[in-house]
Structure 1
Amino acid sequence: MLLFDPIYLLFIAPPLLLGLFAQWRVKSTFASMSQVQARMSGAQAARQMLDSAGLHQVGVEQVPGHLSDHYDPRAKVLRLSPEVYGGRSMAALGVACHEAGHAFQDAKGYAPLIIRNMAVPAANFGSNIGVTLATIGLFLSYQIPSVGNLLLLAGIVLFAGVVFFQVVNLPVEFDASARARRHLVSANLIAANEEHFVAKVLNAAALTYVAGTLQAIMTLAYFIFRLMGDRR
């Protein structure tokens, strides 16, 4: 239903195109900044950043995959992809210290991170069940309007959890990048005139979060538009 609705395409095409551009930019920027050498590896930079805050208990591990880097708040571990863990480049330092920034947030009880983590179950449920219910509701609204609209409304409520997660996630990611950039310069892991190399990688990554948020918002807006249109 959604794939062949031209109105849906009007809603979703702009953020979808932005998302594709953001993914291309992340890959190309990471590849480019991987050629700019740094004094240490990503793992060493992350370890130093963590230790500077007394987070000696937070581990740093290598995991397989490309750009599979993340911080696990339950295990208290930074998991870095091979090119970030062992890479001695501005790209590796930027990504590794960004993930260390999440460990800082966790240790300090950063409110947006706490809210985001609490919203994860609702977002996971809403992204699957919410979209399914809304899609079925749209289909049935042409056959059995009362049932279709009820299912569509239920899907909207559930998918709103996805939008909430995406919106809360933005300050979490922006703050982690800001912490990384400040630490890299203040701890003399990079020179002040090298900070713009790291900024390129982190800003490219930030664009993917913005695109994801816009895509969720526009999807929700489409469902609401259809519900209100049917009621009129």
Structure 2
Amino acid sequence: MLFFHPMDFLIIIAFLLSLWAQFRVSSTFNRWSEVQNANGMTGYEAARRMLDRNGLQDVPIEPVPGKLSDHYDPVHRVVRLSEHVYYESSISAISVACHEVGHAIQHQQSYPMLVMRHRMFPVVRFASGFAPILLIAGFLLQSLNLIGFGIIFFSAAVAFQLVTLPVEFNASSRARHIMVSEGFITRDEERGVAKVLNAAALTYVAAALIAMLELIKYIMIFTSSNRD
């Protein structure tokens, strides 16, 4: 029961999809890193303009080491960009930079799904740490109670990933709209921006799919064992 289940076939397919999504992110980013944007803006300059034009002059931008380590920190209200994105003026750089600013704008406007994700995070951090322990112990000890609690805890982590999807897609949508309307990019360059942002979104979709399939697997095991 612990080592094999028919759902594992779908989980393996989803895992392969996740690997492909990660490869596509890297290859797409690298490809459009070689294409300079017409305005010559660096990732920092694009992010700074987008923040300033949306009333977020007080939000700083910091360079951080690592590739694709870009993120928005809602606790300290700071946009952190990888050094490549921060200093370069490629389509990839400004796409990623403006996406992270999209999260800052969501925070400013209290975007409902972002608010929900922030409120869920402390619970999810606790639950995701205990879920594997409860599930493994439940399977090894053949304890339905432990498996049931593990499923409940794991459900919180899955819900968090599902809530993350609209947050990420909305940030990308905001970035693309502002980049075009404010003249950061030309209409021709929008295709490259879309490819970079869509590739990144696939990784979140794949991760959510794997989590959902694993949750379904655990529920199926629990219900079938409960009937027995």
Query: How does the TM-score come out when normalised to structure 2?
Result: 0.96
1:57 Cα offset (Å): 0.6
Q: Distance in 1 between matches of 2:7 and 2:144?
A: 17
Determine if the alignment matches structure 1 residue 222 to structure 2 residue 217: yes
Rounded to whole Å, the distance in 2 between the matches of 1:35 and 1:216 is 34
Q: Stretches of 4+ moved more than 4 A in 1? A: none
**Counterpart residue identity of residue 124, structure 1:** R
Q: In the TM superposition, what is the alpha-carbon distance from 1:120 to its structure 2 partner?
A: 1.2
Q: What does residue range 42-191 of structure 1 map to in structure 2 within 5 Å?
A: 42-141=43-142, 148-191=143-186
1:6 & 1:223 partners in 2: Cα distance?
9
SS, match of residue 93 in structure 1: helix
SS in 1 for 2:144: helix
How big is each residue's C-alpha offset from its partner over 1:116-160, in whole Å with a ceiling of 9 and x where there is no partner? 11111222223221122012111211xxxxxx1000000000011
- One-letter identity of the residue aligned with 2:176: R
Structure 2 residue matching 1:79: 3-state secondary structure: strand
What 5-or-longer segments of structure 1 have no aligned partner?
Answer: 142-147
1:7 to partner: Cα distance: 3.2
* Count of residues paired in the alignment: 225
> 2-side partners of 1:87 and 1:202: how far apart?
17
Extract unaligned runs of 5+ from structure 2.
none
Moved more, 118-127 or 183-192: 118-127
Cα distance in 1, alignment partners of residues 213 and 128 from structure 2: 14
State percent identity of aligned pairs: 48
Check the 8 A contact 1:11/1:219 in 2, yes or no: no
Matched AA of 2:96:
V
Q: Which moved more, 1:11-20 or 1:151-160?
A: 11-20
Comparing 6-15 with 42-51, greater Cα deviation is found at 6-15
8 Å CA contact retained: 2:154, 2:215: yes
> What is the alpha-carbon distance in structure 2 between the residues aligned to residue 7 and residue 162 of structure 1?
22
Q: Write the distance in 2 (CA, Å) between the matches of 1:127 and 1:181.
A: 33
1:227 CA drift (Å): 0.3
Deviations 1:50-86 (A, max 9, x none): 0001100111000111100000011110000011101
TM-score scaled by structure 1? 0.94
